Amino acid sequence: MNIEFLDADLEPVFAKVRQGSRLSKEDGICIYNTRDLMGLGRIADYVRKARHGKKAYYVVNQHLNYTNICKNRCRFCAYAKDKGEEGAYIWSIQEIEKRLLERIDEPMDELHVVGGLNETLGFDYFIDLLKVIKKVRPSAAVKAFTCVEIDYLAEISGLSLDQTILALKTAGLDMMPGGGAEVLNSRVHDELFPRKIGHQRWVEIVKKVHEAGITTNATMLYGHIETLEERVEHLMTLREIQDETRGFSAFIPLAFHSRNTELSHLPPTTAVDDLKNIAAARLILDNFDHIKAYWVMIGESLAQVALNFGADDLDGTIIEERITHTAGAKSAKGLTRGQMEDMIRASGFEPVRRDSFYNPVTA
Ligand code: V47
Ligand code: SF4
């Protein structure tokens, strides 16, 4: 296959991709700097088609954000509140059961569960949370807790990291979402989320989780103070971990939304940058099977375009998204299965309803 590039710097990148050679840090910077968005998209699409053909995945899922009270108060987060602050909430186990039962007549393949670090909740709450989901939805996968929450749960349980992960797994934890890494870089950490676990600890925890046989996703929060070099380094760190553990399932670039945050002066990410992040992930993360265009963050229309720029997954139906909408997201709070399938078909792809482990679901 030949591509006519407007930016000659993309030619050696495409040559490497065609040979199956790994991209370097310089290649990554070149991808982010290119003016030839369409040329970049065609390289990413070449890799995407080779792996997934015309398939585009989605999952029937529901988000459950059990509390927004969080002691970390990251500067980019509009969702977190202090205890007693207006709008602060904690869902009891009964409340969670009620929310699950409200949808019981609908199919459900995955429950996506994350929340803040709330000092009033004990370790038993988290065990009961997993158990109640398994009780109400025994056939759905529970995708719960980021490495940040796992670190905190190990602290409050008084157990070792290994024991904590095992206790959660025994109670029903099937897989973990990718949040919490943000940008694996000390400068960005110290400036934007100093109370959250740092780079080394995140890597230590994710490796332990993979070792315990639990797969996770990975993310990168982009569009704030990070440099292009820091983005590429983040992706290369994830690639190294994946070489070692093979425990990552999908990568999801997360576009920063600044409304109601301490960084509200920052403009929204551009469509060009959103698509470059999808393509960069597809090309640099050569050992990741799945790249998600998370429609909640970049909007339904751009997510459709992203399927032509390396993405093979649109995430899910979600039902009620809170984290990004508190920070000003304009997308819907949830989509129906029909809407997801129509979006995929309208982009020229074949929808595949999948479970959390990318097995097709035919119910
Ligand atoms: O870790 C917080 C991010 C993440 C903002 O694994 C923000 O399948 C944008 O990780 N603007 C949570 N982003 C969401 C997440 C996720 C979402 C969908 C699927 C999966 C998956 C994972 O949201 C946080 C943080 O990086 N976030 N505040 C904000 N203002
Ligand atoms: Fe807490 Fe997560 Fe928000 Fe940081 S991003 S303040 S850890 S809820």
116 lines ligand 2 (CB under 6 A): yes
In a domain, 41, yes or no: no
Q: Is 316 in the pocket of ligand 1 (CB under 6 A)?
A: no
Asked if residue 259 is part of any domain, the answer here is: yes
Question: What is the span of the domain harbouring residue 238?
Answer: 54-354
For ligand 1, whether the C-beta of 157 sits within 6 Å is no
- Mutation test residue for ligand 1: of 63, 226, 323, the one with most atoms within 8 Å of CB: 323
For residue 331, the one-letter residue type is: S
**Portion of the chain with pLDDT greater than 70, in percent:** 100
* Ligand 1 and 234: CB distance under 6 A: no
Question: pLDDT, tens digit, for every residue of 86-141?
Answer: 999 999 999 999 999 999 999 999 999 999 999 999 999 999 999 999 999 999 99
Does residue 307 belong to any structural domain of this protein? yes
Judge if the beta carbon of residue 32 lies within 6 A of ligand 2.
Answer: no
User: How far apart, in whole angstroms, are the C-alpha atoms of residue 138 and residue 142?
Assistant: 9
| Residue nearest atom 23 of ligand 1, based on CA coordinates | 179
**CATH code at position 128:** 3.20.20.70
**Cα(11) to centroid of ligand 1, in Å?**
34
Q: How high is the pLDDT of residue 304? A: 98
Alpha-carbon dihedral angle through residues 335, 338, 342, 344, given to the nearest 10 degrees: 70
Using 70 as the pLDDT threshold, list the residues of the chain that sit under it. none
Instruction: Note whether residue 11 is domain-resident.
Output: no
Among 306, 254, 313, 316, which Cα is nearest to 289's? 313
Residue 361 covered by a domain: no
Q: Which atom of ligand 1 is nearest to the CA of 221?
A: 26
Provide the pLDDT for residue 2.
87
The pLDDT of residue 1 is 83
CB of 254 closer than 6 angstroms to any ligand 1 atom:
yes
Residue 214: the pLDDT is: 98
Question: Does residue 164 fall inside a structural domain?
Answer: yes
Kindly report, residue by residue over 14-58, the tens digit of the pLDDT.
999 999 999 999 999 999 999 999 999 999 999 999 999 999 999
Tell me how far apart the alpha carbons of residues 164 and 169 are, in angstroms, rounded to a whole number.
9
**Domain annotation covers residue 175:** yes
Mutate to test the pocket of ligand 1, among 254, 295, 324 (most ligand atoms within 8 A of CB): 254
Counting the structural domains of the chain, the total is 1
| CA 148 to ligand 2: nearest atom | 7
If you write DSSP's letter for every residue of 114-175 in order, what string do you get? -----TT--HHHHHHHHHHHHHH-TTSEEEE--HHHHHHHHHHH-S-HHHHHHHHHHHT--E
- Domain assignment present for residue 23? The answer is no
pLDDT of residue 107: 94
Minimum-distance ligand 2 atom for the alpha carbon of 73: 6
